Chains A and B, each alone.
Chain A
Amino acid sequence: IAGITQAPTSQILAAGRRMTLRCTQDMRHNAMYWYRQDLGLGLRLIHYSNTAGTTGKGEVPDGYSVSRANTDDFPLTLASAVPSQTSVYFCASSETSGGTDTQYFGPGTRLTVL
Chain B
Amino acid sequence: GQNIDQPTEMTATEGAIVQINCTYQTSGFNGLFWYQQHAGEAPTFLSYNVLDGLEEKGRFSSFLSRSKGYSYLLLKELQMKDSASYLCAVRDSNYQLIWGAGTKLIIKP
Query: Which of A's residues lie within 8 Å of B, judged by CB?
Result: 35, 40-45, 48, 58, 90, 97-98, 100, 102-108
Number of chain B interface residues as a range: 20 to 34
- Report Cα–Cα, A108/B44, bound state, in Å: 12
- Report Cα–Cα, A106/B42, bound state, in Å: 6
Q: Report if B20 contacts A (CB, 8 A).
A: no
Q: Which of A42, A104, A108 contacts B87 (CB 8 A)?
A: A42
Known: A48-B96, A102-B33, A102-B48. A41 touches B101 (CB 8 A): yes
Query: Which of B's residues lie within 8 Å of A, judged by CB?
Result: 4, 30-31, 33, 41-45, 48, 50, 87, 89, 95-102
A-B contact pairs, 26 of them (CB 8 A): A40-B101, A41-B101, A42-B4, A42-B87, A42-B98, A42-B100, A42-B101, A42-B102, A43-B43, A43-B89, A43-B97, A44-B99, A45-B97, A58-B96, A90-B42, A90-B43, A98-B95, A100-B48, A100-B50, A102-B33, A102-B45, A105-B43, A107-B41, A107-B42, A108-B41, A108-B42
For A90, give the chain B residue with the smallest CB separation: B42
Known: A90-B43, A102-B48. A45 touches B95 (CB 8 A): no
B43, B44, B100 interface centre (most CB from chain A within 10 Å):
B43
Chain B contacts of A102 at CB under 8 A?
33, 45, 48
Chain A contacts of B99 at CB under 8 A?
35, 42-44
